Amino acid sequence: MSNRAFQSCINADCAAEFPIDRVLVACPNCHGLLDVDYDWSGIRPSWETFEGRAVTKGQRNAAGGGRSTPASLDFSGVWRFRDLLPFCPDESRIVTIGEGRTNLQRATGLASKLGFTSDAGGELYLQYEGFNPSGSFKDNGMAAAFTHAAMVGAKRVACASTGNTSAALAVYGALTGVECFVFIGEGKIAYGKLSQALEYGATTLQVAGDFDACLARIRHIAEHMPEAGVYLMNSVNPFRLEGQKTIMYRILEGLDWKVPDWVIVPGGNLGNCSAFGKAFMELKALGMIDRLPRLAVIQAEGSRTLDRVYNDLGVRWSPALGAGGRACAACPKPIACPRLCLRGRFDVAAVEAEYARMDAANERAHTVATAIEINRPVNLSKALRALHAMNGVVRTVSDAEIVEHKALVGRYGFGCEPASGASVAGAAMLLKEGVIRSHETVACVLTGHVLKDPDVTVGYHTGLNMKAAAVDLSASRPTGRVSNPPVRVADDLEAILAAMEGATAQRALRE
């Protein structure tokens, strides 16, 4: 693998670059988002390279320590494509637990239910990311981010989560021996997922606040308190997104490397759509595809920040341009960048004004699809970039549409959790609008497993309100030999830091 990887600020007016092994949350100069970027010269991956990695027999001993073997990397649906995310100079140090062996399934029954007419030649595919080891697409990103964490020697990792991120973080942490902290909002986590975080031994802090509040806290600690030594695992971490690019490679693989007309994905923190845009821009620049699919990002009515910013306010990404346009600050001359330039600009003031309005109105995210119940999407600028590159659209669907389409996925396929239902509801909406045409090939990404939110599913099928009232999860004293109860903590920096130190001290005593 190449060691010509670096981190680069996507803000064209800053264009700062940093070494690959520096731990950063955002650009220290302008606070813009960072990309993992590569000098691709001399790297010419081809689809045949990946097809040649189909033989996966042999030891796979990376999970839980040891060095990863070529068989373990080829078994992984992320690292099978390692030439397209070549940031780790030593392949044997790559972390994998066998993630990304997910399926692109043609959904003929569902397609006709939604109104795709088969004689027009259109196809609907479902990309089941719930088949990952922890039950969601997050494992793709965790494999990459834990690899980076190992490269920089991180000992403590953390995330804010409504469920899936915490489960993924906890299983990678348990298997690699890294201490994990999960921040969950009070009453704001899917119990199926909480059970995983507890079982895998992560320290779970139940913070009196919502997801946005939890993320703000842990981000502050990771970014501004180096003495706490916390490595952040939310999708603002650009290494996460490198792993999530591979979801698109697997869709292409399932289509014989043909580009679909549409990729449809739910949008919460907007990490996936950002990763997908980067994946396709790179593939085009490498000459591996000749066109990009269109992108549809689907949000829930109760948390539609991107929809407002993109459709109501008309905010758009403008890529760094040379010759007549405004080039990136890194270009020595006002010509287009000789490298694949992923930098650009957008109307930051318009977005900030919208955030100020939301604050003044005390608007909080609210949807049955807890995975996308997010008001301050950290990857907004990268999502705008992806929408630009992929001629994208953004739509909002109601909670009722989400649960109906989730149920249809279950009736006609393997099932999914609520946010994934938004993908399919969005496909139906765009088909009705005539934006998607019935001869087109559409790939809907189902981001999580049907078992994530069983209360929503049972509620739908029985008409009962199964949602457990917000309970204090640390109110009782468990007696199991390895019980791992959550710790309840105020939304207060000092209290959170004290709880983290307490957990680390207890862990040291146990070991």
Residue ranges that bind ligand F0G, judged by CB under 6 A? 136, 161-165, 235, 266-272, 371-372, 417, 419-420, 447-448
Minimum CB separation from ligand F0G for residue 377, in Å?
7
Minimum CB separation from ligand F0G for residue 442, in Å?
18
What do you get for the CA distance between the two ends of the chain, in Å? Answer: 36
Minimum CB separation from ligand F0G for residue 268, in Å?
3
Q: Which is nearer to ligand F0G, 161 or 441 (CB)?
A: 161
3-state secondary structure (DSSP) of residue 392: coil
Rounded to the nearest 5 degrees, what angle is found at the Cα of 151, between the Cα atoms of 147 and 153?
110
Minimum CB separation from ligand F0G for residue 373, in Å?
8
Q: Which is nearer to ligand F0G, 165 or 381 (CB)?
A: 165
3-state secondary structure (DSSP) of residue 179: strand
Minimum CB separation from ligand F0G for residue 214, in Å?
9
- In DSSP notation, 416-474 reads --HHHHHHHHHHHHHHHHTSS-TTSEEEEEE-B-TTS-HHHHHHHHH----PPPP--TT
DSSP 277: H
- Using CA atoms, how far residue 110 sits from 314, 398, 406, 424, in Å, is 33, 19, 11, 9
Q: Which is nearer to ligand F0G, 68 or 166 (CB)?
A: 166
Chain-centroid distance, C-alpha 325: 32
Minimum CB separation from ligand F0G for residue 11, in Å?
21
Q: Which is nearer to ligand F0G, 165 or 206 (CB)?
A: 165
Give the C-alpha separation, 127 to 53, whole Å. Answer: 21
Q: Which is nearer to ligand F0G, 21 or 491 (CB)?
A: 491
Minimum CB separation from ligand F0G for residue 161, in Å?
3
Q: Which is nearer to ligand F0G, 320 or 378 (CB)?
A: 378
- In DSSP notation, 29-49 reads TT---EEEEE--TT----HHH
Q: Which is nearer to ligand F0G, 98 or 448 (CB)?
A: 448
3-state secondary structure (DSSP) of residue 158: strand
- In DSSP notation, 413-431 reads SS---HHHHHHHHHHHHHH
Minimum CB separation from ligand F0G for residue 394, in Å?
12
Amino acid at 375: N
Q: Which is nearer to ligand F0G, 165 or 237 (CB)?
A: 165
Q: Which is nearer to ligand F0G, 79 or 128 (CB)?
A: 128
Give the C-alpha separation, 390 to 407, whole Å. Answer: 29
Minimum CB separation from ligand F0G for residue 70, in Å?
30
Give the C-alpha separation, 9 to 152, whole Å. Answer: 20
Backbone angles phi, psi at 36, to 5 degrees: -90, 120
